[in-house]
Structure formats: structure tokens, C-alpha cells
Amino acid sequence: MVAMSAGPRPVENGFPDGLRVPLVVVGAALALLMAWCVLALPAAGQSGGPQVVAQSQELLVNDLARATADSIGDVAGDLSTAGALYTVHPDPSPAGTLAAFTRSIPQALGLALVHRSSGVLLAGTGEPVPVESLPSKDVDRITVNLVRDQSGATVVLTTAPLPGTQWLVLVTTGLKIPATTLSGSPAEALLLTTPDGQVVKSRGSFDPEYQRLVTTASANAVTAAGSVVGEESTGPVVDGRRTTPIAVYAPILTGDPARPLGLNLVLVGSAPAHGAPQTPVETEWVAAALAAAVLITLVLIGFGFVLPLRRLRGEALGGHHRRRYRLREATIVSAALRDEIIPVRRGRISARTLVIAAVAPLLVCSAVIGVVARETVPTVPDLVVQGERGLAEVTAGALRDQLSATLSDLRTFATRANGEVASLKPALDNLIAQNNRYRSVYVTDAAGSVQVTAGRAPLRTTERPPAGSGLHQQNTAGRIPVLYASTPLPDHSHVLIGELDVTKLSSILRRSAGNGKLVDSGLRTLASADGYRAFDMLTDQALRQSVTDALGGVGRPGTDQIDGEWYVVAAATVTGAPSTDPLRWTVVLQQPLTTLPLPDNVVRRYVLFAALAAGALALLLLGWYHLCFVRPLRRLSVAALGLAQGDLKTVIYPERLNEIGTLSECLDAARRQRIPTAAPSVPMLV
């Protein structure tokens, strides 16, 4: 055995070259991960309660707020279209002008015609319009404001300049809360509030004790949608348990770009004070399994790899205790240093195999935990399922309002469409510009031939238009669904047709979470929140059954497995208006359970993170040891074999300044000592 104690000791670097450095660094990181699992996983499993219920209602309230904004914006579109028609057949008298606008805006509570510069009231009809509440009479575009009428009620005041005149048209309309199911828990009331918390309209039972919560929600709603939770266990008693009050809010945004109107939609209700706790085993087994795998990995590397190599290094530097090694490379290097015969490899393990086998338990454990977490189906409270039904109803209601408004637009347009058909071109262009629900609007003759058009080229095939006015679906196959509204013009020889933009219908479906579809009575897809092919059939039995139940008048939301993934499924029919009832269209929503704000999903994400972090640390440990120690050690064992076989010429250089480098220097010192010394020369005597 070659001892190097007499000479200078080889230099060895610290981080990241020491044999113990990876074990300490990765071991500390794994210990922190285990501590996080022990503390965070049980806490996540016991979370829930009011906050989860409130978050599950945020999408519903946000969709309701958008539907409210759409109903307010429809008045502005009607005003614009009526103004464009006025330019076709202007009436010089204020009374005649106001009468034309009255026919164009049936939802108006009151209308007024005002002189822009003087503010003098020229004509009025319906309820008195609060002209004095108009912020500014210097109006060059359509504006929407909240004002109070003479009775003190809050109304919407829409103002539009009349082209070619110095007149302003003022329209007041009432506030409307879109219809949706209020199951009593968590929803008790839907409120329209001002930023200071004043309730201007309500639907449902509103407990005045919640006013402080409503004020907070109204103030927060100025910036974005969200929810607030009141003091725990201060709400009413439901099923013998005290509940916690919640308020979910969203601002009403109008215009393009959207701006706050100064009105908020607030859902007030109550939720269970405590969520259903998870069983501790569901989280504790993860921490226990990872801890066991971490311990096995660290022990195998520490005692099977690090300790033998450090002992071999100690012997190479001058130790006198010869040891037997299970590592094949350590046995070869030890024999080469002592100039002994290298023993048979039987019963020994290579360094590479040992490190891989040591890290394997942690990698396998991480993979198993990740797979189990992905396959776990979260428990969905009934309140969340019912919230999905409400979301489907709101989406169906928004589509119904858009479809009804389409037919109403055309009917209103037709009342003023007198004279030559060609003269309607500017008004048709304005109708397209002010209402993005249309892809094209045109006038046909009795045979269906297009006479004048605005927007894109018509998709509808030429055929005799349907009698009367209504909404229609022309095709059940093809590249694009042809959906349109039609109404006859006063001359009874021409028909006004407006084709619906399927992209607009899809944008309403995209408001809801998950994947929403609009299907006809034959279960064919007409529009979808995601990419789709027109008239794709619903093939999944759960979706088909949900649509069938909705068409039968019994909506049954629930959870179902679709293509290997679990969803909350709910459906609602686009009915409730005479124009939409004959269509028998249905909205069906499917939202993945993994996207819901549930405690089970929080635990699932935490477990997936722990599995991913443990697997990444295991790979880091494997790569660190393999690159810095295993590969240099294997090359050193090859050099040791060559030395044992008599190769004294190949210099053995240290690759890194660590324990393996020290062994390389010791082995090279042994090589140099075995080089035979030349005999001294004898002088020749003359």
C-alpha cells in the first residue's frame, strides 16, 4: 500500500466536489419538503367552508353582471339604429321624431327630445325623463348614465345625438336582474348596488343585517369581481347549523372599451361555517411514503457509496487497515494500490448500479403518488353542482336575450323601412356596425333573392323566406350553421333577414368555465366555447341525457365521467320567449372537477407538487453523483486495471479535486514507485 503521508496532501475542493456535499444539500431539501408535507397537506385537506362556496359562485355572478350589461347596451344599439333610419325619412317636427323613436325602443320607460345648446325640452312621452340629471348636453356620441327619476328610483339614462340636427334623444329604462335559480343556500338575494353600497334593485330575500357585507362588496367591485366572507358562524341557522354570510360581487361594465357604469351586482347568501374535513389518512400516507423513500435513498447512498469511498481514500493516504468493499470499483482501486491480484467480481456491485438503485425508491414513490393524485376524483359539494346549473341557466338566458333582441331589432327596423329598398343601405350598414350579433343583414324579394345587403356575404341559400317573423335554423349539415331572423317589410313584398354570427354566440358560451355547447333538438352542435365542427353530434351518454332531461323540463345537474375525465354537467334550454321556444335549443356545460375551487383539488395540487419536487430532487441527486463521482470512479477503476496488468507508462491524472481525485493521485504515485530504476554506470579503467 502506498502511503502519501510523507508528501504534501492532495488538494480537495469543497462545494460542489465533496462526496458528502450532494447528500447534505439534497437531503436538506428533501427534509424541508417532508416538513412542508406534514404541515401543509393536512391543513389543505381541512380547508373549505364559506370561502370555497363563495369562490364557486364568482363565475355565476360575473356572467349575470355581463348579461345585465348586455341588456343596458341593447338600448344604445336600438337608439343608434333608430337614428340611422331617421336620416332615411326625417321628420321635421319634434313630436313626429319622438314618435318614431318610441316605436323603435319598446323597453323605454320614458323618452324626451331636448335642444342640445339650450337644454329646452322639445317633446316628451311616457314617464318624465330627468333631463336636469344629464351630466353634459354637449353630447356627440351615445352615452349611458345612472340617474334618479322623480320618484327617487334609479334608472338608466341613454342619450344620443340626432344626426343632422341640434336635438338630443333621451331614453330612460329600468334596471333588470337576469333570471336565475336562487336555491336559498348559498344564494338568498341578488342585488344591484351603487359603489357606496346602496341597494337600487333586489331579487330574493335580503337580510338587512348583511348591509355591512354588501357595502364592503360594493366598494371592492369597482375594480374587479370577487367575493368577501363575513364573520364566521354569524349567519342564519340552516339544518340546525350556524352558517357564515358571504357576498359575491361583479361590476357592471358597458361600452366599447368597457367602462364601469357605477353599478354592481352582488349575490348575498350564507354558507356552512366549516367545510367537510378530509380524513387524515388521505394526506398522511403521502408524507409517510415519501419520508420512507427519502430515508432509504439517503441511507443507501450514504452507507453504500459515500462511506466506502471515504474509507478507501483514508487508506490511500496512509491508513493501515485493509477493508473489504462491496463496490466493484473500490475493490479494484484498493487492490491496485496494494499491488495485489484483483479479486473476482462475483458478489460485488458497480457504483452506477448502486446509485441508480438508491435513487429508484424515491423516483418510484414520486411516480406512484403522482399517478394516484391524478386519478383521485374530488368530492363535489351539492352547492357547487347547483351553482353549475345556475351558470347554465344564465348562459341560456343570455343567448335567449340575444336571439330575442335580434328579432326585435329587425321588427323595429321594419316599422321605419318605407320607400325604396335601395335607400335602406346606410341604415343596414349602421345596424351591422352597432350590433356585432349579426354577420350580415339584407333585404330579399318574395322569392328570396337578395336586393340590398350589409356585412358579409349571406350564407343562406336562396329560397322563399318563411312567412311572418321569427327565428330560424336553415340547415342541419354543412360547414357553418345558418341561423337567422326574418320579418316582412311594410310593403309585404320584401323580407328583412339578419344572419346570426356563430362566433358571437360562441363568445357568450366562453364566459362560463369549462366547455359550453349550444345544441339543437337533434343534439347537433351549433356553437361551442372551444373549437368544434358544425353539427357534431353529442356522443357521450351523460351529455345526451342531460340535454334530454332539460328539454323534458327537468334539469338534473351532476357529475359524470367523459372520455376518462370527471366533469360537472348541467344543461338549460334557451326558452322563455315566444321567438326562441320553437327552436328547442339547449345549452350544455361541462366543467372539469379539477378546475373547481375545492379542498380536494387543493390537496391534489399540493400532492402533485410534492411528488414532482421529490422526483426532481431525486434526479438532481442521481445526476450530481453520476457526473461528479461515478463516471470519474469508473474511469479510475479502468486505469487501476491497466496498472495491475503492468501498464506503467499511462499517467493517471485527477479529473476533479475531490476524493476521487485524491485516489487518482495516490494511484499515480503507486505507478511511479513501480517503475524500475536504471542500474548505475561503472567507469572504465584504462
pLDDT, one tens digit per residue, over 226-236 is: 888 887 766 66
What pLDDT does 285 receive?
Answer: 84
Any idea what DSSP says for residue 629?
Answer: I
What are the DSSP calls for 186-204, one per residue?
SEEEEEEE-TT--EEEEEE
Phi–psi pair at 166, nearest 5 degrees = -105, 25
What pLDDT does 278 receive?
Answer: 47
Predicted confidence (pLDDT) at residue 106 exceeds the cutoff of 50: yes
Set of cell numbers at residue 6: 510523507
CA distance 289 to 318: 43
Residue entry with cell 422526483: 615
CA distance 79 to 49: 47
Least confident of 3-12, 285-294, 316-325: 3-12
Check the CA dihedral 612-617-623-626 and report its sign.
negative
What pLDDT does 47 receive?
Answer: 61
Phi–psi pair at 522, nearest 5 degrees = -90, 15
User: CA distances (Å), 364 to each of 301, 349, 585, 596, 669, in order?
Assistant: 16, 21, 50, 29, 43
Average confidence score pLDDT of the chain: 84
Q: Which of 192, 218, 227 is nearest to 56 (CA)?
A: 227
Confidence of residue 347 (pLDDT cuts 50, 70, 90): low
Set of cell numbers at residue 229: 366572507
Predicted confidence (pLDDT) at residue 678 exceeds the cutoff of 60: no
Set of cell numbers at residue 623: 445526476
Identify the structural domains of the chain with CATH numbers, from first to last.
21-41+284-375+609-673 (no CATH), 51-70+103-274 (no CATH), 508-599 (3.30.450.20)
CA distance 180 to 400: 13
Percent of the residues in the chain that have a pLDDT greater than 90, as a whole number: 29
Phi-psi region of 254 (alpha: psi -120 to 50; beta: other; left: phi over 0): beta
Q: Which helix (H) or strand (E) holds 121?
A: strand 121-126
Q: Which helix (H) or strand (E) holds 441?
A: strand 438-445
CA 159 centroid distance within chain: 38
Predicted confidence (pLDDT) at residue 633 exceeds the cutoff of 90: yes
What would the mean pLDDT of 546-562 be, rounded to a whole number? 88
CA distance 499 to 489: 16
Q: Which helix (H) or strand (E) holds 265?
A: strand 259-272
Confidence of residue 40 (pLDDT cuts 50, 70, 90): confident
Any idea what DSSP says for residue 306?
Answer: I
Confidence of residue 6 (pLDDT cuts 50, 70, 90): very low
Set of cell numbers at residue 578: 315566444
What pLDDT does 41 receive?
Answer: 81
This prediction's pTM: 0.74
What would the mean pLDDT of 358-386 be, rounded to a whole number? 88
Q: Which helix (H) or strand (E) holds 169?
A: strand 167-173
Residue entry with cell 432509504: 296
Predicted confidence (pLDDT) at residue 686 exceeds the cutoff of 50: no
Residue 168: HSE in the Cβ half-sphere, 13 Å Cα cutoff: 25
Tens of pLDDT, residues 573-624: 998 888 888 999 999 999 888 888 777 888 888 899 999 999 999 999 999 9
What pLDDT does 281 receive?
Answer: 44
Predicted confidence (pLDDT) at residue 91 exceeds the cutoff of 80: no
What pLDDT does 98 receive?
Answer: 85
CA distance 9 to 665: 10
What would the mean pLDDT of 56-83 be, rounded to a whole number? 82
Confidence of residue 307 (pLDDT cuts 50, 70, 90): very high
What are the DSSP calls for 14-60, one per residue?
-TTTSTTHHHHHHHHHHHHHHHHHHHHHHHHHT--THHHHHHHTHHH
Q: Which of 466, 488, 464, 484 is nearest to 475 (CA)?
A: 484
What pLDDT does 345 receive?
Answer: 66
Predicted confidence (pLDDT) at residue 280 exceeds the cutoff of 60: no
Confidence of residue 277 (pLDDT cuts 50, 70, 90): very low
Predicted confidence (pLDDT) at residue 90 exceeds the cutoff of 50: yes
Tens of pLDDT, residues 141-176: 888 888 888 888 888 888 888 887 888 899 998 888
User: CA distances (Å), 588 to each of 384, 386, 552, 585, in order?
Assistant: 16, 14, 14, 10
Residue entry with cell 345648446: 117
Residue entry with cell 349539415: 477
Amino acid identity, residue 100?
A
What pLDDT does 645 receive?
Answer: 87
What pLDDT does 454 receive?
Answer: 93
Three-state DSSP class for residue 620: helix
Q: Helix H segments across 526-598?
A: 541-551
Confidence of residue 279 (pLDDT cuts 50, 70, 90): very low
CA distance 321 to 550: 85
- 573 within 8 A of 403, measured Cβ to Cβ: no
Confidence of residue 54 (pLDDT cuts 50, 70, 90): confident
What are the DSSP calls for 210-248, one per residue?
GHHHHHHHHHHTTT--EEEE-STT-S-EETTEEEEEEEE
Predicted confidence (pLDDT) at residue 1 exceeds the cutoff of 60: no
β-bridge mates for residue 209, sequence order: none
Q: Higher pLDDT residue, 278 or 32?
A: 32
Predicted confidence (pLDDT) at residue 296 exceeds the cutoff of 90: yes
Predicted confidence (pLDDT) at residue 32 exceeds the cutoff of 80: yes
Three-state DSSP class for residue 498: strand
Q: Which of 45-59, 131-145, 347-361 has the highest mean pLDDT?
A: 347-361
Predicted confidence (pLDDT) at residue 489 exceeds the cutoff of 80: yes
CA distance 220 to 199: 15
Set of cell numbers at residue 112: 324626451
CA 229 centroid distance within chain: 23
User: CA distances (Å), 271 to each of 53, 57, 153, 205, in order?
Assistant: 6, 11, 32, 16
CA distance 227 to 248: 4
Tens of pLDDT, residues 180-212: 766 555 667 888 998 888 888 888 777 777 888
Predicted confidence (pLDDT) at residue 552 exceeds the cutoff of 60: yes
Tens of pLDDT, residues 374-417: 888 888 877 778 878 888 888 898 899 889 888 888 888 887 77
- 245 within 8 A of 253, measured Cβ to Cβ: no
